[in-house]
Structure 1
Amino acid sequence: MRILLVEDDAMLADALVTALGQHDTAVEWARDAAAARLTLIDHDYAAVLLDLGLPGGSGLGVLAAMRARYDTTPVIIMTARDRLSDRISGLDAGADDYLVKPFQVDELRARLRAVLRRSLGRVAPVLRSGDVELDPASRSVACRGQPVALSAHEYRTLLALMEKAGKALSRTALEEAVYGSDGVIESNTVAVYVHQLRRKLGEDLIETVHGYGYRLREAR
C-alpha cells in the first residue's frame, strides 16, 4: 500500500515513515502545501495523511483541491487542533477522519484500515458527452464503450471540459485545472493536450473558442 504523508514536522514524518513501513506501507512525504498539491495531481495513493498547518498554504486547501477534481482518495487529517469547530471544518471539507496529535501509530493504522474499507463502496458521478464517458472514481475514460488511455494532463483537461460541457473555458482556467494553482506551467501548453484528446476521442469533441479557450461540444 502506498500513501502520501503531508507533514512539515520532520521528526514526526521520519517516525511515521519508519513505523508504517514496517507494516508493508510505502510512505511518500510532502513537506508543504504546494508539494502536496502537485504530487496528488500526478500520482495515485491509497490514502493521504494530512496536516492542517503547512508552509505555503493550508491543509484544508489541499483537501479542497482534491475534492474539486473528484479525487475520492481517503484523507485522514492529523493535527494538534482539537477544537470541535476544527473537527467539523475538516470533516465538512471532505476529510474521512480526523486524528488529534499526539496519537499512537497503532490507532493511526486502525483508522487507515477503516477509511480504506469505507472507500471501497464510494461512488462518484460518471460524466458523459456523446460517445465519451469519464468515470472520476476510477479515473478511466471510454469512447464508444472502449477504454482510452490518457496521460494525467490529458485526463485533467478532459475532466475540466466535461464538468462544464457546452461552456467555454479560458486557457488560464484549463492551465489551472491541469497544473494546479500552485503549479508551474510547463513548456507544453493546454493546446497540446487538446490536440491529443481530439486525436484519441474525435476531432469534433472539443471546439476552439478563438481568442479565449476551448469548449466541449454538446452532444447532438
Structure 2
Amino acid sequence: MRIPSITHPVPYYSQWESAGLVPEFIAGRLDAADDPLWQKSGADSPDEYAFWARRMCGVACLRMALDFWQRPVPPAVPLVRELCDAGAYVRDGDSVKGLIYRPFAEHVRARWGLSAETAPDLPAVRVREVVAAGGLALLSVHPTVRTPDVEPPSKGGHLVLAVGVSEEHVVLHNPSGLPGRSQEAAHVPWAGLERFYAGRGVILGA
C-alpha cells in the first residue's frame, strides 16, 4: 500500500535554547554555559544548563510533541528534573543513563494523557504507518544524521522526532540539527536513514 506524503505541523525545539548557535556548541567553539538564552531553560545556573543541554535531545522531542498536541510545555531543565524523578534519566555524578524508554513512556501517559509506546523493534515501515496515521515517533539515530553525507561510525545514541513521511523520505525535527540544513523538517531518504537508525524508539499519539 502506498504511503501518502504528510508532514505534521509540529513546532520545533532545539536541545539548546539558542538554536542558531548549535554549530558553535557542537564544534566546541562556544560553551553551552555561555548560551545567551540559557535562562529560558529554567536552569538554576549556566552550569546546570550546560550539563544537561547536550543530553536533552529526548526532552526537546517531547516538548515538540506536547506543543503539537496542545499540552503545557514545561521549560527544558524542569522537565529534565521531572523525568529524573520518573526514572527516565539516572544521574550518577557526571554521568547520565537515559533516556530510558519505559519509564519515559509511563510518565508521558500518566502526566499528559498521551499515548506512548516503547518500541525496541521499530522498523522503518512501521514508522511510516505511525506517522501517516497521525502519530509521531522518537527515533534513535547517530548524531551525525545532521550531516547525512558523512558516514556514521555506529547507529543510535541520539533522539530525533519523525514528523512526516513519504514514499521516499522521513521528515525529521532534529534537536541538534544544523540551522537551515538539518534542524527543522529535514528530509532524509529511507535508505539513508538506515545508516544512522538503530531500529528503536518511542511511538507517541494523542
Q: TM-score, normalised by structure 1?
A: 0.27
- TM-score w.r.t. the length of structure 2 is 0.28
Which structure is larger by alpha-carbon Rg, 1 or 2?
Answer: 1
The structure whose RCO (Cα within 8 Å, separation 6+) is larger is 2
Which one has the bigger helix percentage? 1
